[in-house]
Amino acid sequence: MPLPGDRLIGQPAVVTTEGITISRPPEAVWPWLVQIGQDRAGLYAYEKLHALTGLDYHDADRIHPEWQHLAQGDTVRLAPRGWLGFDDGIVMTVVEIEEGRSIVLRTGGGDSFWDAVWSLNLARHGDDGTRLLIRTRVPLRQPGAVVGAELIAPAKAFVTRAILRGVKHRAESQPAPRQDAP
C-alpha cells in the first residue's frame, strides 16, 4: 500500500511498515504525533530504555499546546548531539506534512551516506478508530548504509513497536471525544 513519502526513495533496499489500531478517531491521535521528538514530547516508548541508551527522553503524558505546530522544513530531533559519535545527533527534517493524516521525516537525502525516510500515517478505521502506520525506507547508496540499517533493525523494530503502543496508550487514556446529539 503506497504511503506518503514513498516516492522520496524510489527503490529502497530496506522497507518496514508497522501498525497498530487505536480506539480513538484520527483527530484524537494527531496531537500526540505532531509533538514527537527528543526535545519535545519524546517518543512515547520506554524511558528506562532511553536512559540505558543515552537518549535522555522524557515522554509526555499530555498534549502540549506549544508543540502542536509542525511544518515542512522543521526538524525533529531523535537523538541528542554527540549520541554514538553523531556530532549533531539524529535529526530528521519534515519534508511533507498533511494535517491530521501524515508526517514524513527524512534524514540525509541527496548523496548523504545515511539517508532514510520515516513516515507516521493515520487512517480512519471504522466509525471511531484509527490505524497508525509507521514506515521506514532506506535506499541502497553504499553497502555500509544497508548493513548498518540491517544491524539496527531489531532495535528499531522494538522501539517502533514501543512508539506505536505508547501513542495508543496515551490517545486511549484521554476521554473519548464528545458526540453531539443530532
Share of the chain above pLDDT 70, in %: 79
Within its chain, how far is the Cα of 84 from the centroid?
20
Half-sphere exposure of 51 (CA within 13 A, CB side): 5
Q: Within a 10 A sphere around the Cβ of 134, how many other Cβ atoms? A: 20
Task: State the DSSP code for 67.
Answer: G
17-39 pLDDT, tens digit each: 999 999 999 999 999 999 998 88
In degrees and rounded to multiples of 5, residue 17 shows phi and psi of -135, 125
Q: Tell me the pLDDT band of 77, cut-offs 50, 70 and 90.
A: confident
Within its chain, how far is the Cα of 72 from the centroid?
15
Indicate the helix (H) or strand (E) that contains 113: none
Alpha helices in the chain (DSSP H): 26-34, 47-53, 143-173
Query: Which pLDDT does position 150 carry in this prediction?
Result: 74
